[in-house]
């Protein structure tokens, strides 16, 4: 009898324990690692094709689409995105469970939590579609996958900001949510705005003036 009880306890014990931080970092690093590997591979084996531009300007690095469009880069990229996308469905369900427990008595936040779950699932599905279905194979599927990915990711981020604002306001101690702690530093605001400004400058310059070297920073199909 005791042996049977111990065997049941061993069977219910988890085989592997992974910290959520480690899990999240590994998931986030998969696309970055895949992109870097594809970039290096395209430079080593397909430099002329990867850096070619239709407007014949100088180019030193391939765009993202050029770096992941040829074999074996396309298989590396799809593998990394596939491994990256699978855990994100689990994370979406975990966050929904957390929100549902946190907002048990708040109808609006419960509804927003459900919308956030749908947006997260749709965003991830759109990413998988635009990754695995090339525009040359099924243009409309690739196009709508990209639209769903962008739209749902933006909506999901806005809802997440709203939900965590409510959590900080009603469920966290006053010391943590004091204005002094929550007020962003000027340096942080500058660091957050700098990439946006640089991206706008690069895109406008490359599109209007077709500037050499800047073309590598703009994604071209």
Per-residue pLDDT of 89-103, as tens digits, reads: 999 999 999 999 999
Q: Are 202 and 218 in contact (CB under 8 A)?
A: yes
Q: Are 182 and 159 in contact (CB under 8 A)?
A: no
Tell me the residue length of the chain. 221
**Roughly how many angstroms between the first and final C-alpha of the chain, as a whole number?**
67
The C-alpha angle 117, 119, 123, rounded to 5 degrees, equals: 120
- For tokens 């947006």, name the residue: 119
pTM of the shown model: 0.72
pLDDT score for 169: 87
- Nearest CA to 98 out of 88, 109, 108 is that of 109
> What mean pLDDT is reported for the chain?
80
Radius of gyration of the chain (CA): 23
- For tokens 């919308």, name the residue: 115
Per-residue pLDDT of 176-202, as tens digits, reads: 444 444 444 444 444 545 555 665 665
């Amino acid at each position: 009898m005791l042996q049977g009880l111990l065997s049941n306890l061993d069977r219910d014990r988890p085989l592997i324990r992974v910290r959520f931080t480690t899990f999240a970092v590994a998931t986030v690093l998969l696309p970055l690692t895949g992109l870097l590997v594809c970039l290096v591979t395209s430079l080593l084996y397909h430099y002329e094709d990867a850096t070619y531009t239709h407007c014949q300007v100088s180019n030193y690095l391939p765009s993202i689409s050029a770096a992941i469009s040829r074999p074996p880069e396309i298989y590396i990229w799809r593998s990394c995105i596939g491994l990256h996308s699978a855990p994100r469905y689990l994370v979406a369900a975990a966050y929904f469970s957390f929100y549902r427990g946190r907002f048990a008595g708040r109808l609006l936040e419960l509804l927003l939590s459900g919308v956030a779950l749908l947006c997260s699932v749709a965003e991830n599905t759109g990413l998988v579609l635009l990754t695995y279905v090339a525009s040359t194979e099924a243009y409309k599927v690739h196009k709508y996958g990209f639209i769903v990915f962008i739209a749902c990711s933006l909506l999901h981020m806005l809802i997440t900001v709203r939900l965590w604002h409510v959590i900080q306001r009603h469920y966290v101690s006053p010391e943590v949510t004091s204005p002094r702690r929550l007020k962003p530093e000027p340096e942080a605001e500058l660091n957050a705005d700098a990439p946006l400004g640089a991206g706008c400058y690069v895109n406008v310059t490359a599109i209007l003036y077709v500037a050499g070297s800047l073309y590598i920073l703009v994604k071209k199909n």
